[in-house]
C-alpha cells in the first residue's frame, strides 16, 4: 500500500519550466511510478514512467525530450521535471504507483494521488 500526494503545480508561461513532486508513504521502493495527465474533456493519458530503482524511464512521444522523471527512494519522492512547456501541456497531473513490471496504461496502476494543476499560458 502507498499513499501519494502531488505538489508543485501552478501557472507558467509557455517555454518555461516546472517541477512536480509526488511524496509517498508506504513501501515506495516496491512500486514502479507513473505520471499521467488529464485535460478537461479528455481521458487521462500517459506521460511517463520510472521503474523501482530509478534506472529505467519511458516517456510519451508528446513529452519526450522535454520532461524528465526521477525518483529518490530515500526521500520517498518521485519528480517530474517539465521544460519548454507548451499550451497543450495544460492539465491536471497525477502520479501513480503500480506493482507491475511495466506501466504505460492507466488501468495498470493501483494507487493514485489527487493531482496537481498545471496551467501553461501564452
Model confidence over 13-54: pLDDT tens digits? 999 999 999 999 988 999 999 999 999 999 999 999 999 999
The SS3 call for residue 78 is strand
- Report pLDDT for 1: 81
Give me the pLDDT at residue 101, please: 85
Q: Which cell numbers hold the place of 75?
A: 526521500
Residues 6+ apart with CB under 8 A from 53: 29, 73
Place of cell 505538489: 7
Bridge partners, 10 (sequence order): 118
Alpha helix ranges (H) inside the chain: none
Task: Write down the pLDDT at residue 26.
Answer: 82
Residue 30's SS3 state is helix
Amino acid at each position: 500500500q502507498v499513499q501519494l500526494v502531488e505538489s508543485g503545480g501552478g501557472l507558467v508561461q509557455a517555454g518555461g519550466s516546472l517541477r512536480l513532486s509526488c511524496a509517498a508513504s508506504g513501501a515506495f521502493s516496491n512500486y514502479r511510478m507513473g505520471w499521467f495527465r488529464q485535460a478537461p474533456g479528455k481521458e487521462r493519458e500517459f506521460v511517463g514512467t520510472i521503474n523501482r530503482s530509478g534506472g529505467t524511464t519511458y516517456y510519451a512521444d508528446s513529452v519526450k525530450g522535454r520532461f524528465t522523471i526521477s525518483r529518490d527512494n530515500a526521500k520517498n519522492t518521485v519528480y517530474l521535471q517539465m521544460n519548454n512547456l507548451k499550451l497543450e501541456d495544460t492539465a491536471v497531473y497525477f502520479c501513480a504507483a503500480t506493482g507491475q513490471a511495466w506501466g504505460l496504461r492507466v488501468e495498470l496502476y493501483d494507487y493514485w494521488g489527487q493531482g496537481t494543476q498545471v496551467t501553461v499560458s501564452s
